[in-house]
Amino acid sequence: MTLLRLAIVGAGPAGIYAADLAKKADRGFDVSIDLFERLPAPYGLVRYGVAPDHPRIKGIIGALREVLDGGAVRLFGNVEYGTDITLEDLQRHYHAVIFATGSIRDAALDIPGIDLPGSYGAADFVSWYDGHPDVPREWPLDAEQIAVIGNGNVALDVARMLAKHVEDLMPTEVPPNVAAGLATSPVTDVHVFGRRGPANVKFTPLELRELGEVRDVDMVVHDEDFDYDEQARTAIRSNKQVLVIDRVLQAWRQREIGAASRRLHFHWWSRPVEILGTDRVEGIRWERTEPDGKGGARGTGEFREQAVQAVYRAVGYFGSPLPDVPFDELRGVIPNSEGRVLDRTGHQIPGLYATGWIKRGPVGLIGHTKSDAMETIDHVLRDSADWWSPAEPREQSVIDLLESRGVRYTTVEGWHLLDQHEIALGAPEGRARVKVVPRDAMLAASLGEPVA
């Protein structure tokens, strides 16, 4: 049986699904897989990109954990690709590598004033409230009125976390530093802006319905946004998801407004054109848009302004380049054909593959990630004639390499120790867990050392 030593860089859903599919593929190969993750803990954006008050979405971790706990895949956490281990190292120890590093940066929004103090990327804020170890422990929450630009689930998460009362987050795994920061927030109004209409939003019905149940927060929508054109009416009739979203929004239109201490305002048909201010954010200016008859929006020439003291852009994620790997600066992905990495001339580079958001961009849900990984793994297994010929394919050789470099790596067993530690921290307060934030504390717990 032919041996396939496969390295996967990134232990989020994309990387773990790829590992699982490769192990289960019945192609006559003896597959040995190592997962390399730059953070001490696995699961990627499921751990660090999903708001803490969404436990049902975090249930995905259960399926991912089954793969890691199966014993067929090794995890090397706290290992940075490009420094702790390089492409040259991977070529020495493996037949092929799959990059599953995702997209963690904010996509750019090129409008005047976007770089003013008080203007933030949603991805950075999400990393903060999810306790990512590589972001500052504190976040400036000093604005009473806030703008959120975007009409997807991330925009909705950000708006909800800004508007929600911190005591309602305490049953979740929200880290102590995040709870302390949110408790000081003076916010009264959060304004969400989308350039198209209510029938074009990217929210999921579940997220939207849950938002309407947040305590002591009024949902403010405007009648002028619901003058639907034929395209919108067709979408509502033909698409069940759009129908449910419309029903939720129509119900909000009937609510009485004014009793709550905080408000979430939705501004559709609104294209932000400028962030106002001199030394810091003082407002947002937008152009009123209208349907273009093709499912899009066009400007009307009518401009409006709203006073705000902070702006969060949630217009998408963007991938980051990796050392010695081609990168498409426009799309934020590794250039590829069905997961096979391509060079500048469009030719396949033997041994290099990609899956997940770094392959296709930040679109699609978990189901897309699985099918995406299946496509990539299919090519890996078909390309045996183009695999590398590793000089040191023994499993122990990688451990020897990391230890020779003094890399304090974590394992699946180490993740179990950290997991148990977080659960124990939450138990006295009746919480499922309290997430550990500092990297050195995560490492200590994972390595069975005292946690300061």
* Average pLDDT, rounded, for the chain: 94
Q: Which distant-in-sequence residues (6+ apart) come within 8 Å of 4 by Cβ? A: 22, 29, 30, 31, 32, 95, 96, 380, 381, 384, 387
Q: Is residue 188 part of a domain?
A: yes
pTM of the model: 0.94
Task: Say which CATH number the domain at 387 has.
Answer: 3.40.50.720
Per-residue pLDDT reduced to its tens digit, 48-79: 998 998 877 767 888 899 999 998 999 999 99
Q: Is residue 443 part of a domain?
A: no
Distance CA(241)–CA(369), nearest Å, equals 21
The range of the structural domain enclosing residue 79 comes to: 2-104+319-409
Give yes or no: residues 179 and 290 share one domain. Answer: yes
Residue 33's alpha-carbon distances to 94, 391, 394, in angstroms, are 9, 17, 12
Give yes or no: residues 169 and 252 share one domain. Answer: yes
Q: Is residue 345 part of a domain?
A: yes
Distance CA(326)–CA(43), nearest Å, equals 25
Q: ∠56-57-61 over CA atoms, to 5°?
A: 100
Question: pLDDT averaged over consecutive 10-residue blocks of the chain (452 residues)?
Answer: 93 96 88 97 93 79 91 96 98 98 92 98 96 95 98 94 96 94 97 96 89 95 94 93 96 94 98 97 98 88 98 94 96 97 96 96 78 95 95 97 98 97 94 94 96 86
Domain-ending residue, one of 317, 332, 358 = 317
Q: Is residue 98 part of a domain?
A: yes
Q: What is the structure's pLDDT at 324?
A: 97
Q: Is residue 324 part of a domain?
A: yes
